[in-house]
């Protein structure tokens, strides 16, 4: 009897999606790290965003668990992930950046956390810096009172004592979410193209009453912005400024908006005028103007999101941090998993 292949095989537990674009230097090592996972019941879908480096097929070659999906153009990270999710066959959708290198037990730790917490449907990883694993790249994403999101603990020492608990949103570099939930929520916001689409998705999880659990034992080493020229590139600054504002407008509950909006504008001005950021004022202003120009569709999207909201404004406010020292120090904000989200479903 012939061995079943492709769609004839039983669905895997996990579908890992990697969006490939200008990632020739990192993608092979990323796939190699996946090949060494202790948990093996997964498929890998590499979405080739028409990368000029043509790295997707070479990285997949020799790995039976991997297949390449041709996007036909550079769709951006958000639409690339959504394309991969359409083809996914697993119970869980796992997102992994091509410049993130998981420890051998990464998938095992994520699936173990899902088994321990059957009411939780979104998980995020402990990310360390690839060039120096003693430094954190992030412990989930944090939403501050001024609606300036950041990766919790970024560039702080990794003391190895992070507790398992709720964070505001998962980081798209290394996260796991229930595939049915991901699809029901419409996936990532494709208008964002790149940057903050994971924060927007996590905010919408909060609005839907769906927690995100940090699994500190699930570790990846992350380079960060390796395919977009670094966090201070014009591309990163433009999309970061524009998309942060769009997240604020479409996701902030109405009762919080009169408070959050002026705080955001004040924080935005203070951050932009810091000496180290002044050389970026031109692209920062272009990003802000693009945010204002795109407010029509964003406001329409807001109506849909807020109409389906299950969490109260107070619950959202409690999930955020209002301590300015958290934002200035990029401190992680991890809270105990609420009792209603523990135990059997």
pLDDT of 117: 97
Poorest-pLDDT segment among 36-50, 266-280, 313-327:
266-280
The Cα-based distances of 34 to 10, 41, 175, 179 in angstroms read: 20, 11, 14, 20
Tokens 């509950």, located at residue: 253
Start-to-end CA span in the chain (Å): 40
**pLDDT class of 224 with cuts at 50, 70, 90:** confident
Distance CA 187, CA 128 (A): 26
Given 3-state DSSP classes, what are the helix, strand and coil percentages for the chain, each rounded to the nearest 5? Answer: 40, 20, 35
Q: Could you give the count of Cα atoms lying within 13 Å of 257 in the half-sphere of its Cβ?
A: 14
pLDDT of residue 231: 65
Would you state the pLDDT for residue 345? 45
Entry field: residues in the chain: 345
Q: What is the mean pLDDT of residues 61-86?
A: 97
CA trace torsion 296, 297, 299, 300 (10° rounding): 120
C-alpha dihedral over 117, 122, 126, 131, to 10 degrees?
150
Q: Please state whether 282 falls in left (phi above 0), alpha (psi between -120 and 50) or beta.
A: alpha
Taking the CB of residue 326, how many other CB atoms lie within 10 A of it?
Answer: 18
What does each C-alpha distance from 79 to 35, 72, 132, 161, 295 come to in angstroms?
A: 25, 12, 31, 35, 20
| pLDDT at position 237 | 95
pLDDT given for residue 178 in this prediction: 98
Indicate the angle between helix axes 234-251 and 257-272, nearest 10 degrees. 170
Write down the mean pLDDT value for the chain. Answer: 93
Task: Please say if the pLDDT value at position 232 is more than 90.
Answer: no
Domain range summary for the chain, segments of one domain joined by +: 234-324
- Residue 86 in tokens: 């359409």
Round to whole Å and give the CA distance between 91 and 10. 12
- Which of 105-114, 223-232, 314-323 has the weakest average pLDDT? 223-232
139: its two tokens: 């412990």
Is the distance from CB of 211 to CB of 337 less than 8 angstroms? yes
Is the pLDDT reported for residue 229 higher than 50?
Answer: no
Selected residue with higher pLDDT from 189 and 227: 189
Q: What is the mean pLDDT of residues 124-140?
A: 97
Element (H, E) at 213: strand 212-222
Mean pLDDT computed over 77-101: 97
The string over 219-230, giving b where at least 16 C-beta atoms fall within 10 Å of a residue's C-beta and e elsewhere, is bbbbbbbbbbee
> What average pLDDT does this structure show over 176-182?
98
Nearest-angstrom CA–CA distance, 163 and 68: 36
What percentage of the chain carries pLDDT values higher than 90?
A: 90
Q: DSSP 3-state assignment of 13? A: coil
If pLDDT is split at 50, 70 and 90, which confidence band does 1 have?
very low
Render 193-237 in DSSP notation, one character per residue. -SSSHHHHHHHHHHHTT--EEEEEEEEEEE--STTTT-TTSHHHH
pLDDT bin (cut points 50, 70, 90) of residue 9 is confident
List, in sequence order, every residue forming a beta bridge with 178; answer none if it has no partner.
Answer: 92
Which pLDDT belongs to residue 342?
63
Q: Which candidate, 45, 92, 93, 97, places its Cα nearest to that of 71? A: 45
Tally the C-alpha atoms within 13 A of residue 191's C-alpha that lie toward its C-beta. Answer: 21
């Amino acid at each position: 009897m012939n061995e079943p292949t492709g769609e004839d095989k039983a669905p895997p537990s996990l579908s890992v999606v990697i969006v490939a674009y200008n990632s020739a230097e990192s993608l092979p090592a990323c796939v190699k790290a996946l090949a060494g996972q202790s948990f093996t019941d997964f498929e890998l879908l590499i979405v080739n965003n028409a990368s000029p480096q043509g790295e997707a097929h070479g990285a997949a070659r020799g790995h039976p668990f991997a297949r390449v999906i041709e996007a036909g153009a550079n769709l951006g990270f958000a639409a690339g992930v959504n394309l991969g999710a359409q083809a996914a066959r697993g119970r869980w959708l796992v997102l992994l950046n091509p410049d993130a290198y998981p420890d051998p037990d990464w998938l095992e730790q994520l699936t173990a956390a899902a088994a321990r917490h059957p009411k939780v449907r979104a998980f995020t990883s402990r990310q360390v810096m690839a060039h120096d694993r003693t430094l954190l790249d992030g412990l989930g994403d944090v939403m501050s009172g001024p609606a300036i999101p950041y990766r919790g603990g970024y560039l702080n020492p990794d003391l190895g004592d992070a507790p398992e608990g709720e964070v505001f949103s998962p980081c798209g570099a290394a996260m796991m979410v229930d595939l049915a939930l991901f699809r029901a929520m419409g996936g990532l916001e494709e208008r964002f193209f790149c940057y903050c689409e994971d924060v927007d998705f996590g905010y919408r999880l909060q609005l839907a009453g769906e927690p995100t659990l940090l699994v500190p034992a699930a570790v990846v080493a992350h380079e960060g912005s390796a395919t977009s020229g670094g966090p201070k590139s014009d591309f990163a600054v433009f999309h970061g400024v524009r998309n942060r504002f769009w997240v604020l407008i479409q996701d902030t509950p109405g009762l919080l908006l009169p408070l959050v909006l002026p705080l955001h504008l004040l924080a935005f001005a203070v951050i932009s005028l810091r000496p180290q950021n002044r050389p970026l004022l031109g692209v920062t202003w272009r990003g802000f103007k693009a945010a204002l120009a795109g407010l029509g569709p964003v406001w329409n999207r807001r109506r849909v999101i807020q109409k389906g909201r299950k969490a109260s404004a107070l619950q959202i406010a409690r999930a955020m941090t209002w301590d300015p020292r958290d934002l200035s120090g990029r401190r992680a904000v991890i809270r105990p998993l609420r009792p209603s989200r523990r135990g059997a479903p």
